[in-house]
Amino acid sequence: MKSLKGKISARRNYLSVMYIPHNKGGVKTIRINHYRTTLLTTFAFMLVALLVLTGYTLSVVKQNREMKIQHTNELNAILSEKEQLEALIAKQAKELAENAEIITTMNSVKTISEEAIDSYREQYENMVVAYIDKDLKEIGTVSRGDKKPASFKEDVAELRSLISLVESAKLSEDDVTSKIAQKEAQLNNYLDALPTYWPVNSRTTFSGFGRRFHPIYKRYIMHDGLDMAGEKGDPVYAAGAGKVSFAGWNGGYGNCIIIDHGNGFKTYYAHLSKILVKEGQRVSKAEKIGLVGSTGLSTSAHLHFEVRLNDKPTDPLSYIEP
Ligand SMILES: [Zn+2]
């Protein structure tokens, strides 16, 4: 490459420009006069200005390129962050869908349980209404929809299995105030009040419900209850939860306790040697209420036990469980 070398000669107002080629050849000198000097000086300044400008432009271009790379990197970082966020959102959406599914399942289990309870409660209420309203003959053959007629005890067994179903259907502890818990409590109270508990320790009975030859009257008369074996002083238990509606002397019954269990049920405990409860007192199922005796029209110590529905004597063996 060739180079250019300029030299301003102060002498004689000339500008001498020497041309020195790198290869072998003669040195050429161009002699420029004063006018040309001014022109060339101007041109040189312009050239310098152009170079500076070009340099500046190039630096700006370089800077832009760097910024562009930096922006691209930032954009890539943002895009990757966006991808991660989208993945997270997708994961959460999936979890939400799964939770929704679990909730739906739980709700359907709940609904099934509630429907079952409603259905059983309705059947049970129907049964109780039938017990109260219809003749004794029909007791134990209450129709239960499309099912075969069932006995009272079968119904009680069914009620108990329903309660255990309800217990197993309990979904979580924060659910205790739910309808299920309330209905479970209702059903338990209902079952608890039913006179199903055998009222003495002995399971021996010697005079059943119905017509019989009366040992004192010496003729056939209706026996309204069931006589149960027991020694004087043996404990007598409440057959179901309820309220003591009578406690005292009651003619031929001697010392007698009557418990009102609600839903039309009452139980009688007669010939007691001692009464351990007071009228108006609430008693729980199996609670000790008195002692076996032979007071009133009685020849020996035993418990005369009656179950009355709407004040009509019924066979205690239909209810109590040995
Ligand atoms: Zn009796």
Q: Which pairs count as long-range contacts for 222-227, CB under 8 Å and 24+ apart, including other chains? A: 222/313, 224/306, 224/313, 225/268, 225/270, 225/304, 225/305, 225/306, 225/307, 225/313, 225/316, 226/304, 226/305, 226/306, 226/315, 226/316, 226/317, 227/302, 227/303, 227/304, 227/305
Ligand 1 ion: residues within 5 Å (CB):
227, 304
Domain range list for the chain:
104-191, 205-318
Query: Average model confidence (pLDDT) for the chain?
Result: 80
> What was the pLDDT predicted at 202?
95
Q: Which H or E run includes 223?
A: strand 220-223
127: pLDDT confidence band, cut at 50, 70 and 90?
Answer: low
Give the number of other CB atoms < 10 A from CB of residue 267: 25
Instruction: Write out pLDDT tens, residues 203-237.
Output: 999 878 887 777 777 777 788 899 999 999 999 99
User: What is the distance in A from the centroid of ligand 1 to the CA of 207?
Assistant: 7
Tell me the fold of 205-318: Glucose Permease (Domain IIA) (2.70.70)
Q: Do strands 15-19 and 28-32 pair parallel, antiparallel, or not at all (unpaired)? A: antiparallel
Mean pLDDT of 237-256: 96
Residue 168 has which token pair? 């197993």
| Interval between CA 3 and ligand 1 midpoint (Å) | 145
- The alpha carbon of 55 and the centre of ligand 1 are apart by a number of angstroms equal to 127
134 band by pLDDT with thresholds 50, 70 and 90: very low
Distance of CA 314 to CAs 131, 169, 204, 224, 226, Å?
A: 10, 36, 19, 7, 10
Read off the pLDDT of residues 70-109 as tens digits, 9 standing for 90 and up.
Answer: 998 888 888 888 888 888 888 878 877 777 777 777 777 6
Residue 214 CA to ligand 1 centre (angstroms)? 9
CB 304 within 8 A of CB 253: yes
How confident is the model over 9-19, as a mean pLDDT?
Answer: 62
pLDDT at residue 34 tops 60: yes
From the CA of 173, how far away is ligand 1's center (Å)? 49
Q: What is the Å distance from ligand 1's center to 298 Cα? A: 8
pLDDT, average across residues 19-46: 77
Closest by CA position to 152, among listed 121, 188, 192, 196: 196
CA of 257 to the centre of ligand 1 (A): 14
Distance 249 CA to ligand 1 centre (A): 16
Tokens coding 84: 């991660």
Asked whether 263 and 133 are in contact (CB, 8 A), the reply is no
What is the residue-wise DSSP string for 231-270?
-TT-EEE-SSSEEEEEEEE-GGG-EEEEEEEETTEEEEEE
Rg of the chain (C-alpha set): 55
- pLDDT score of 146: 44
Token pair for residue 142? Answer: 């209450």
Residue 175 has pLDDT above 70, yes or no: no
Query: How much distance in Å is there from the Cα of 110 to the middle of ligand 1?
Result: 48
For the packed helices 179-193 and 152-168, what is the interaxial angle rounded to 10 degrees?
150
**283, pLDDT greater than 90:** yes
Share above pLDDT 90 across residues of the chain, in percent, rounded to a whole number: 34
DSSP letter for 138, please: G
Q: How confident is the model at residue 154 (pLDDT cuts 50, 70, 90)?
A: confident
